[in-house]
Amino acid sequence: MPLGFDIDENLCTECLRCLAACSLTKLGRVQLPLARIAVKRQWPELPEIQVCRFDDCKDQPCIDACPVEAISRDEKGLVLIDRDACTGCRACVEACPYGAIWMEENGSDFAYKCDFCGGEPACVQECVTGALVQKGGS
Amino acid sequence: MGRSSMQDLLIRIDLSNRKASPWRVPEELKAYLGGMGYGTKILLDEVPPQAHPLCPENKLILTVGPLTGTTAPMNPQSCIVTKSPLTETILNSYAGGFLGAEIRFAGLDGLILEGAAPQWSLLLIEDGQVHFHSAEAVLGKSTAETERYLKERFGADVRTLSIGKAGEKGVAMASVFSETRTFGRGGAGAVLGSKRVKAIAVRGTRGVEVARPEEFNAAVRENMEQLKAACAEEYNLVGMFSRVGTGAGMGLVNGRGALATRNHISGSFDESPGIDGYAYADKFYTRAIACYGCPVHCGMLHKFTRTDGSSSWLRGPEYETMYSLGSDLLNGDPVVLAEANQICEEYGMDTLTTGVSVAWALEMGEEGKLKEPGLELEFGSPAAILGLLRKIGEREGIGDLLARGPKQAAAASGCDLGRFMQIKNSGFAAWMPRRMKGTGLAFATSNRGACHKRAPIGAEITGQIDMDAYEGKAALVKEIQDRVNAIFTLVSCRFHEFVTPPDMYPRLVTAATGREISLHEFLAVGERIWNLERLFNIAVGFGRADDQLPERCYEPIQGEASEGAVMERRKYDDMLEEYYRLRGWDEQGIPTEGKLQELGIPEYARLGTR
């Protein structure tokens, strides 16, 4: 089964529990700007949920955009950034059609994105309306 | 000091001198937990009770609590405490949305606004730094236009609060808006206007940690399961809110003859099925919108076509507004109701006191006692309703009279105050004391006047207890007032407590802050705050004579289901006296020294001496 998210923005209430859960899982604290998922408010229109689509992303342009081959897709379908190899050039941020790759702006300048929490995304557990549902993984 | 969700830091903003300075929370304040507790204690310590609410001497304190910005569900709110220009009592007022969390992400527990700015100002608060800007470009603009301007100017990610024209012009019931959530009650918008603060934008990028993560996360998971279970139940009130918003219960209230209609003359409204939550969900495109971290998402965004044919949208109306701009005005048209709600948003006015004022004006108009050129004052007339609302916001003609608040409006016009549905000058929330005796006592004894947030509404309206009975209501009201005050220190949503068992609060607070607190101690904080508020009001000049219902409550209700229901004066007085006794107050409603000693606040006894 392909890996990714079933996303229905009609169901998103913009509560941001997904962002809170993501940052709590990754950083041990709630810090929304550093979450690997974002919900762009566009009232009164539907929000845009910005997160890596994995196998639903056609061509996965971030992989080709990276000049140092720091981004790769593994056998499970996880698209991951190798922090050690990342030079902080931002090419992947520009290439991502979903606006789902960001830069750490604390001097280290690494790119970061969703890693599907290795197979069980924390954000999905928090979504009570089903706007964000897991596909594949374990 | 270990980790805590609380930052122990507020910012004092001296508007007169355009200076901001960090203020470390003193140890004795920490016992008040946060939110309403912080605001109340600071106001008592720093603002003289005799201060004029619209003078620089008054302060406006905006606070959050120990659960704000964490993953604990249903704690999105922030709290304003100030001296109210409407009631002249101490005021606490709340808004949900995202502002509270953003204040916490900025590394703060709150803001204290002092003095008055020399020119109209916008404040930008970024991670604890305060920047002063001119508000010239948005003067006279609506709350929504002001919010748009702030986001264009300071970035789409800022969270905001703003006032509209009503706040600028000192309308006594002006409110403060925060992205369609509202600090509705008591005129905080006029206080902000008197300080020449048009709006505040906040951006916070910092992290929030808790003292005991494992304990905290386990409690959050448990609380989430409780809330999810409630939302899945067909007849759970919170579940109904989750599906169609707070207007879900209107049919029930109407059926019980407790839906205030036509300025509270009647207790039922035939057209209510056309304006309740289900009607809006049915007739209009509807999308649920949550406050920060809330799984209930009771906010409903509706798109609709206005009477002039233009397309528009509104987050709401909320239940209370369906009454105040609907049934109470004999307005059964959901579009007119939505437009009336929009006018209140645009000008920045409390839909409750404003709607109640319109209801009174319509009744006086029908009796020929009030007139306004160009407007036929009649219940149910869209032109009269929308016209009066705009006139209040603009302070034009009769609107200027109503903008001063009920007592002044009645005195200046020579019309009957006894039919103005107000207590301590604050307009009635959507409930009828004649039908719900405990709620009546709660309205009358409320420190901010006619307050529905600390009343036994759920128990009375669902028939869990006998709504018409007087017995046992005094004890119930005291218990709810203290308990809700305690949860407003956090600052939890009022609906959170409909589902969450009481012991969840001390568990969450202890795990978030690392300061052990028992349920008993937690509830005692609520009672301590209630008494501090009362002392402030006593020092202003309030007393037993102000803990009374308007005359209309002693006249029988008309209309089906509750025909003839009435508050009996002698029984009301008995209930009030019992309430004072249970509170440990004297027969004039003044806290005794013994009570203050017991609550650990004897130093405030001076406020209770006349």
User: How much is the pLDDT for B610?
Assistant: 66
Cβ within 8 Å, pair A128-B156: no
With CB atoms and an 8 Å threshold, state whether A30 touches B208. Answer: yes
The whole-chain average pLDDT of chain B stands at: 97
> Would you state the pLDDT for residue B24?
98
The tokens of B555 are what? 């006249």
Place of tokens 């002001």: B146
Mean pLDDT for the stretch of residues B257-276: 97
Write out chain B residues lying below 8 Å of A124, CB-based.
none
Q: In angstroms, rounded to a whole number, what is the distance separating the alpha carbons of residues B346 and A101?
A: 38
pLDDT at position B514:
97
- CB burial of residue B242 (10 Å; 0-12, 13-18, 19+): buried
- Taking an 8 Å cut-off on Cβ atoms, the answer to whether A15 and B209 are in contact is no
Q: Which residues of B touch A30 (CB under 8 A)?
A: 69-71, 207-209
In chain B, the residue whose alpha carbon lies closest to the alpha carbon of A21 is: B71
Separation CA B347–CA B506 (nearest Å): 40
Query: The pTM is what?
Result: 0.97
3-class SS of residue B506: helix
Residues above pLDDT 90, as percent of chain B: 98
In this structure, the dihedral spanned by the alpha carbons of residues B355, B303, B249 and B223, taken in order and rounded to 10 degrees, is -110
Look-up: residue for tokens 């001496």? B609
Q: How many CB atoms lie within 10 A of CB A138?
A: 9
The reply to whether residue A15 touches residue B71, judged by beta carbons under 8 angstroms, is no
* Contact call for B292 and A13, based on CB within 8 A: no
Of A13, A21, A31, the CB nearest to B289: A13
CB contact under 8 A, B206 and A14: no
With b meaning 16 or more CB within 10 Å and e meaning fewer, what string describes A68-82? eebbebeeebbbbbe
Dist. CA A100–CA B285, nearest whole Å:
29
A48 touches chain B (CB under 8 A): no
Spell out the domain ranges in chain B: 9-203, 242-419, 427-608
Confidence check: pLDDT of B119 > 80: yes
Name the architecture of domain B242-419: Orthogonal Bundle (1.10)
Whole-angstrom CA distances from B60 to A84, B63, B123, B492, B603 are: 50, 10, 14, 20, 23
**A1 has a pLDDT exceeding 90:** no
For helices B35-46 and B519-540, angle between their N-to-C axes, nearest 10 degrees: 30
Between CA B105 and CA B112, with CA B107 as vertex, the angle to 5 degrees is 110
Is A107 an interface residue toward B (CB < 8 Å)?
A: no
Q: At CB < 8 Å, which residues of chain B contact A?
A: 69-71, 73, 98, 105, 156-157, 205-209, 213, 217, 228, 231, 287-295, 297, 301, 303, 313
pLDDT band at B548 (very low <50, low <70, confident <90, very high): very high
Å between A135 CA and nearest CA of chain B: 22
Q: Nearest by CB to B71, which of A20, A34, A128?
A: A20
| A41 contacts in chain B (CB < 8 Å) | 156
Q: How many other C-beta atoms lie within 10 A of the C-beta of residue B211?
A: 19
> Are B337 and B283 spatial neighbours (Cβ–Cβ below 8 Å)?
no
No. of helices (H) and no. of strands (E), chain B: 24, 17
Say if residues B118 and B564 touch (Cβ distance below 8 Å).
no
Q: Which residue of A has its CA nearest to B229?
A: A128
What is the rounded CA–CA span in Å between residue B322 and residue B340?
10
pLDDT value for B561: 83
Question: What is the rounded average pLDDT of the residues A3-24?
Answer: 98
8 Å CB contact of B156 and A23: no
pLDDT in tens, B233-262: 999 999 999 999 999 999 999 999 999 999
Residue B26 pLDDT > 60, yes or no?
A: yes
B287: chain A residues, CB-CB within 8 Å: 10, 46
- Give one word for B436, left, alpha or beta, with left for phi > 0 and alpha for psi -120 to 50: beta
- Contact A30/B at CB under 8 A: yes
d(CA B532, CA B521): 16
Whether the per-residue pLDDT at A46 is higher than 70: the answer is yes
Neighbours of B590 (CB within 10 A): 20
Fold identical between B9-203 and B427-608?
no
Select the residue of A17, A28, A30 nearest B69 (Cβ to Cβ): A30
| Architecture in CATH for domain A4-135 | 2-Layer Sandwich (3.30)
Residue B563 confidence (pLDDT) above 90: no
> Which residues face A81 on adjacent strands?
A71
Backbone angles phi, psi at B608, to 5 degrees: -90, 0
Interval B79-106: pLDDT, tens = 999 999 999 999 999 999 999 999 999 9
Name residue B400's amino acid. D
A20 closest CB neighbour out of B289, B293, B297 = B293
Nearest by CB: B289 against A14, A34, A128:
A14
Residue A122 touches partner B, C-beta closer than 8 Å: no
* Complete edge-to-edge strand list for the sheet that includes strand B9-14: B19-24, B9-14, B110-114, B60-63, B78-83, B90-95
Q: Region of B385 please: left (phi>0), alpha (psi -120 to 50) or beta.
A: alpha
Q: Do A128 and B231 touch (CB under 8 A)?
A: yes
- Count of A-B CB contacts under 8 Å: 61
Q: What is the DSSP string of B302-323?
A: EEEE-TTS-EEEEE---HHHHH
Three-state helix/strand/coil letters over B237-257: HHHHHHHHCHHHHHHHHHHCC
Residue B1, pLDDT above cutoff 60: no
User: Cβ separation of A31 and B206 shorter than 8 Å?
Assistant: yes
Bridge partners (DSSP) listed for residue B91:
B82
Instruction: Supply B395's token pair.
Output: 């302070």
Span B267-278, average pLDDT: 97
Mutate to test the interface with B, among A10, A11, A12, A16 (most CBs of B within 10 A): A16
Give the phi and the psi of residue B372 in degrees, each rounded to 5: -140, 120
With a CB cutoff of 8 Å and minimum separation 6, the contacts of B377 are B361, B362, B364, B365, B366, B370, B371, B384, B388
Choose among B185, B16, B245: nearest CA to B114: B16
Total Cβ atoms within 10 A of residue B451: 22
Task: With a cut of 70, say whether residue B527 has pLDDT above it.
Answer: yes
Tell me which CATH homologous superfamily contains domain B9-203: Aldehyde ferredoxin oxidoreductase, N-terminal domain (3.60.9.10)
Q: Per DSSP, what are the bridge partners of residue A4? A: A135
User: Per residue in A68-97, pLDDT tens?
Assistant: 999 999 999 999 999 999 999 999 999 999
Phi, psi of B448, rounded to the nearest 5 degrees: -110, 0
**Three-class secondary structure of residue B335 per DSSP:** helix
Sort out which chain A residues have CB atoms less than 8 A from B313's CB and list them: 43-44
A90 contact B CB<8A: no
Average pLDDT over residues B376-386: 98
* Amino acid at the residue B179: E
Whether residue A107 has pLDDT greater than 80:
no
What residue segments make up the domains of chain A, in order of their start?
4-135
pLDDT at A138: 66
Q: Do B295 and A41 touch (CB under 8 A)?
A: no
Least confident of A120-134, B85-99, B471-485, B550-564: B550-564
CB neighbours of A52 closer than 8 A, spacing ≥ 6?
A36, A79, A96, A98, A100, A101, A113, A114, A116
Instruction: Enter the ipTM.
Output: 0.96
Model pLDDT for residues B334-356, shown as the tens digit of each residue: 999 999 999 999 999 999 999 99
Contact criterion met (CB < 8 Å) for A128 and B303: no
Class (C level, CATH) for B427-608: mainly alpha
- The reply to whether residue A15 touches residue B297, judged by beta carbons under 8 angstroms, is yes
Q: How many residues does chain A have?
A: 138
Return the axis-axis angle of helices B569-583 and B437-445, rounded to nearest 10°.
60
- List the beta bridge partners of residue B123: B132, B200
The continuous run of DSSP H or E covering B30 comes out as helix B27-30
Mean pLDDT of A6-24: 98
Q: What per-residue confidence (pLDDT) applies to A109?
A: 84
Pairing of strands A132-135, A4-7: antiparallel
Nearest residue, CB atoms, A29 vs list B205, B207, B294: B207
